[in-house]
A and B are shown apart, each in its own frame.
Chain A
Amino acid sequence: MFSKGTKRKFSDGGEAISDESLLGARVASSYSLQRQSLLDMSLIKLQLCHMLVEPNLCRSVLIANTVRQIQEEMTHDGSWHMVTEAFCSAGQSPSERLVATEVLCRSREQDAEPKLFSVISYEGCREEEVVADETLCSVSVSNTVSNVCLAGRMGQCWEKSELSGVERDEEVLEDSRLGSGEDEEIATEDGASTESPKTIGQVFGTFEIKNGSPGPDSALEELFSDVDTSYYDLDTMLTGMQSAPKMGPYDLLDSLAPSHSSPSIVSTPNCRSDLNELDHIMEIIVGS
């Protein structure tokens, strides 16, 4: 279905269009449509990670490689610039353009809150982690500060993180607005590859938090040096939260994405797994 066929530019009106070239144009545009749809699907898959459990790195890498392949091909085609130009003319800021494919905008409600959820919780837990007592850890830690696991204190962790996270979120918004100028620079330099580094960096950024280096001092430093701040910028773009409303614990629950176990992206989510997931999250938050 997606094997490479011969591509011809779609000829604009005004010329006499023969049947043959029309057919060729149809094939080409059908291929382009399929390719675009594959690109959109891939980008959604990268965003819609099940954020309770760490996403599968192999799957993310394979999807990201697919996105790169498509973008490379579209760059050679010249169709990539058309896409980016179109959105530029619409007056959106360059950083918003990164995820401004139609499908992503449609699914903004879906993928927005899980990201926010994890951003909030990551931030909150990071602050708390610095002062954490080792005895709280369920797994004994030798030297590394980074590999801290916590069971049974889950309830407190989530509660604390929500409060501190919302404040942090407002800060992030400021940063992102300031940062948009920087993005523009990168965009014009890199051309087609702007979108993928941001997306991929954001996806792989989740993993780049731990490291096993010895020595508590250097461990802390390296811990924070790996943080990819573009993660938060992209996230605020997704949420479109220009004015950050104060969110209570139940707002998060309301806006969680459906469980990733649903077989297809466009199908209605499995209600039962939704409820299970909500119960599960409630347990964590309430700390039962």
Chain B
Amino acid sequence: VNAPRGGVGGGNDFQWCFSQVKGAIDEDVAEADIISTVEFNCSGELLATGDKGGRVVIFQREQESKNRLLSRGEYNVYSTFQSHEPEFDYLKSLEIEEKINKIRWLPQQNAAHFLLSANDKTIKLWKISERDKRAEGYNLKDEDGRLRDQFRITTLRVPVLMPMDLMVEASPRRIFANAHTYHINSISVNSDYETYLSADDLRINLWHLEITDRSFNIVDIKPANMEELTEVITAAECHPHQCNVFVYSSSKGTIRLCDTRAAALCDRHSKFFEEPEDPSSRSFFSEIISSISDVKFSHSGRYMMTRDYLSVKVWDLNMENRPVETYQVHEYLRSKLCSLYENDCIFDKFECCWNGSDSAIMTGSYNNFFRMFDRNTRRDITLEASRENSKPRAMLKPRKVCTGGKRKKDEISVDSLDFNKKILHTAWHPKENVIAVAATNNLYIFQDKIN
């Protein structure tokens, strides 16, 4: 029996190894290349990233080769396209960034793949399809496409489908625009596979995938007088199985679960989740660090997870007054909140994700660290996404931040952390222990070691 070596995930102990890294090595990072969202599709075969330049890059996992037992299928570029362009809001004289805020895949229903990509204002439905055959032997035109001289045609033939080099085409099938006054922070496909929701700072809209010229506004928290605004929507998600249920989180650390059957406008929640504040730790920054940056349902639909600045919390949907589990991501930052407020890092929005079996959760931190928590064993691990640890199949070494006192070897002190290297976006393969971690402009893929 192998002694556990600090691995986390699943029922067994897994050991995370470097698999691949995508992106430029340059120290000089082009702003447009900064990855802003990462998402596996429902089967895990495809991995999509969106960046600040409005581009979407999709990676496809190659088929496992029997010859190379030690390496699982690698992800290679499958399609790259420009999803959004920068626009100019004429009325406010402000630019609308082309940055892709979220990508969500639709469940696959035929040979083509569909995904939704959203920037601050517009959502687009993209169809990604393959073409690997070409018809040859037309009667009226020759191979170049030029029309043949009709008098030369003496026989008729049936065109034949011939194989060609694989071509992957991405085409925009729907554009859902002009429905958001504020910045879109979330999109979520409903379990009915017909509708999806999009949320901005103050409103949530429900769309039908086929209809682009109208959407239903289902949540509106905009006050009549904007000066009274004290709370905004930070994230929203549809329940994975119940198509009438969705949740949205706020900047005050609350989560509201709503039922679309109850009313057309879901301003009144069905459930209200909030953890009472610990009065002894109250400070001027309490509200800011309680602001929820991400909310995700578990695959089972029984739990949901929220990420605030310093912790990740798991909630049982049946218990509203407190979370069932709380995990500290980087508690050592609590004493640095003033500096983090000054340099705006306190407003960083970290995402979180579940593994396929809901037994583990993952979220990012600073210094290109990311953290994993095993819900069963209560063990946690800190790993780093860096080029230094990027030898093929090299096992990742656990990292540790020294919080005070004597710094041990290999530990890093809080003051040495690089706050510009932040891991905001991570994704976990829906079925296997493969994770994708976005570190600024690089995408790291890690896999568990096969024994």
Contact = CB atoms under 8 A, between A and B. Distances in A.
Interface of A: 1-4, 34-35, 38, 41, 45, 51-54, 56-59, 61-62, 64-66, 68-70, 118, 121-122, 124-126, 128-129, 132, 137-142, 144, 146-151, 153-154, 157, 161, 197, 200-201, 204-212, 223, 228, 263-265
Contacts of A206: 92
A251 B285 CA distance: 39
Which among B89, B122, B251, B347 has the greatest number of chain A C-beta atoms within 10 A?
B89
B178 A65 contact: no
Contacts of B341: 38, 41
B449 interface: no
A124 B96 CA distance: 19
B89 A149 contact: yes
Contacts of A65: 230, 287
A70 B182 CA distance: 27
A236 B231 CA distance: 29
Nearest to B284: A2
Contacts of A61: 229-232, 251
B90 A207 contact: no
Contacts of B342: 41, 264-265
Kindly name the residue among B213, B229, B335, B343 whose own CB sees the greatest number of chain A CB atoms within 10 A: B229
Consensus secondary structure, chain B interface: loop
A151 to B, nearest CB: 5
B207 to A, nearest CB: 14
B94 interface: yes
B333 to A, nearest CB: 12
A64 B251 CA distance: 12
A49 B288 CA distance: 18
A249 to B, nearest CB: 15
A126 B87 contact: no
A66 B284 contact: yes
Nearest to A150: B90
- Which of A58, A147, A149, A212 has the largest number of chain B CB atoms within 10 A? A58
B226 A138 contact: no
A150 B201 CA distance: 23
A182 to B, nearest CB: 16
B93 A125 contact: yes
B338 interface: yes
Interface string B308-338: 0000000000000000000000000001011
Given A54-B92, A54-B183, A118-B93, A1 B226 contact: no
A264 B338 CA distance: 12
B37 interface: no
Given A52-B94, A210-B92, A264 B229 contact: no
Contacts of A62: 251, 287-288, 291, 347
B155 interface: no
Contact of B178 (A4, A35, A38, A139): A139
Given A62-B287, A62-B288, A66-B287, A139 B177 contact: yes
Nearest to B293: A58
Contacts of B213: 142
A150 B86 CA distance: 10
Contacts of B93: 118, 121-122, 124-125, 157, 161
A3 B285 CA distance: 9
Contacts of A56: 183, 347
Given A57-B201, A212-B178, A66 B288 contact: yes
A3 B283 contact: yes
Interface in B321-365: 335, 337-338, 341-344, 347
Interface of B: 85-97, 120, 122, 177-179, 181-183, 201-202, 213, 226-227, 229-232, 234, 251, 281-285, 287-288, 291, 335, 337-338, 341-344, 347, 419-420
A109 to B, nearest CB: 20
A197 B251 contact: no
A122 B95 CA distance: 12
A135 B234 CA distance: 35
Contacts of A209: 91-92
A185 B232 CA distance: 31
Nearest to A73: B284
A142 B226 contact: no
A1 B287 contact: no
B179 A4 contact: no
A149 B87 contact: yes
A123 B75 CA distance: 50
B343 A263 contact: yes
B182 A207 contact: yes
A1 B229 CA distance: 28
A129 B93 CA distance: 11
Contact of A70 (B181, B230, B284): B284
Nearest to B288: A62
Nearest to B419: A263
Contacts of B122: 139
Contacts of A4: 282-283
A157 B93 CA distance: 9
Contacts of A45: 344
A172 to B, nearest CB: 16
Contacts of A200: 227, 229
Contacts of B202: 57
A2 B282 CA distance: 9
A1 B334 CA distance: 9
A3 B89 contact: no
Given A59-B347, A148-B90, A141 B178 contact: yes
